[in-house]
């Protein structure tokens, strides 16, 4: 398997743990318990950061080569790239919602549950679709030269969740997640 696909799979696994952590807090809120919205805010800050800046662009670079190889995949891949844009808007929406909560604005419980429920469902469905359909297809279609070209065009940078810059960014999330089963600090 290409090292890039391996990294994307690892990023999905880590993202799934983060989504589980988010769901745990949103469920607590839905049940009238005390939820850790500071953690929710860090999660949403993170979702706006690395996945939007690095993970989805890496995938888009691969999907562009796939269309080159198989033009008949263009429609399906356009849907997938559209899903990245939609996920970006949902991420902004959920981020804005937690910002309002942290500013002590009063929001209807159902609205908060709806925003985060939709965000969680879309993210999980997107990850499943890519892992089940598109990553295996990419592994079949791209050759070594393609992977080298994709790697060259990537504006990659370290995942800020895995590198503690000492500025306190993502400290709560890092603490919450590092010991979760299935989370890897080794890659992506
Ligand atoms: Fe994606
Ligand atoms: Fe992905």
pTM equals 0.89
Ligand 1 centroid distance, CA of 107 (Å): 30
pLDDT, residue 163, reads 77
pLDDT above 70: percentage of residues in the chain = 94
Using CA atoms, how far residue 156 sits from 7, 77, 120, 150, 188, in Å, is: 12, 22, 25, 11, 10
Rounded to whole angstroms, what are the CA distances from 58 to 7, 130, 149, 168?
A: 10, 13, 12, 27
CA–centroid distance, 113 to ligand 1, in Å, is 24
How many angstroms is it from 87 CA to the middle of ligand 1?
9
CATH assignment, 3-178 = 1.20.120.520
pLDDT band of 1, cuts 50, 70, 90: low
Render pLDDT for 68-88 as a digit per residue (tens, 0 to 9).
999 999 998 888 888 999 999
Query: Helices (DSSP H) in 130-167: which residue ranges?
Result: 135-141, 144-153
Contact predicate 19/120, CB 8 Å: yes
Task: Please report, for the chain, the start and end positions of each structural domain, with discontinuous segments joined by +.
Answer: 3-178
d(CA 145, CA 28): 49
| Cα 41 to ligand 2 centroid, rounded to whole Å | 21
Q: State the distance from the centre of ligand 1 to the C-alpha of 32, rounded, in angstroms.
A: 33
pLDDT at 155: 63
Count of alpha carbons within 13 Å of 90, Cβ hemisphere only? 18
| Whole-number pLDDT of residue 126 | 94
pLDDT tens track for 128-142: 999 999 999 999 999
Instruction: Kindly report, residue by residue over 7-49, the tens digit of the pLDDT.
Output: 999 999 999 999 999 999 999 999 999 999 999 999 999 999 9
Q: State the Cα–Cα distance between residues 136 and 96, nearest whole angstrom.
A: 35
How much distance in Å is there from the Cα of 112 to the middle of ligand 1? 24
By 3-state DSSP, what share of the chain in percent is helix, strand and coil, each rounded to 5?
75, 0, 25
- Ligand 1 centroid to Cα of residue 135, in Å, is 10
Using CA atoms, how far apart are residues 56 and 16, in angstroms rounded to an integer?
A: 15
**Could you tell me what percent of the chain has a pLDDT over 90?**
64
pLDDT per residue over 151-188, tens digit each? Answer: 877 766 778 887 777 787 888 888 877 777 666 665 44
Encoded tokens for 94:
């959920």
Nearest ligand to the CA of 8 is 2
34 Cα: distance to centroid of ligand 2 (angstroms): 31
**CA 32 to centroid of ligand 2, rounded, Å:** 33
> Cα of 129 to ligand 1 centre, how many Å?
9
């Amino acid at each position: 398997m290409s090292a890039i696909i391996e990294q994307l799979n690892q990023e999905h696994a880590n993202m799934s743990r983060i989504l589980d952590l988010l769901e745990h807090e949103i469920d607590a809120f839905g049940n009238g318990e005390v939820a850790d919205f500071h953690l929710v805010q860090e999660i949403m800050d993170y979702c706006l950061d690395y996945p939007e800046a690095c993970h989805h662009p890496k995938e888009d670079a691969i999907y562009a080569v796939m269309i080159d190889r198989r033009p008949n995949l263009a429609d399906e891949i356009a849907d997938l790239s559209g899903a990245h844009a939609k996920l970006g808007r949902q991420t902004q929406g959920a981020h804005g919602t937690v910002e309002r909560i942290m500013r002590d604005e009063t929001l209807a419980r159902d609205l908060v549950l709806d925003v985060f429920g939709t965000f969680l469902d879309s993210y999980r469905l997107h990850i499943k679709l890519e892992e089940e359909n598109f990553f295996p297809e990419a592994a079949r279609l791209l050759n070594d030269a393609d992977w080298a070209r994709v790697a060259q065009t990537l504006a990659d940078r370290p995942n800020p969740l895995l590198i503690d810059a000492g500025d306190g960014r993502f400290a709560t999330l890092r603490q919450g997640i590092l010991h979760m089963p299935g989370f890897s600090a080794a890659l992506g």
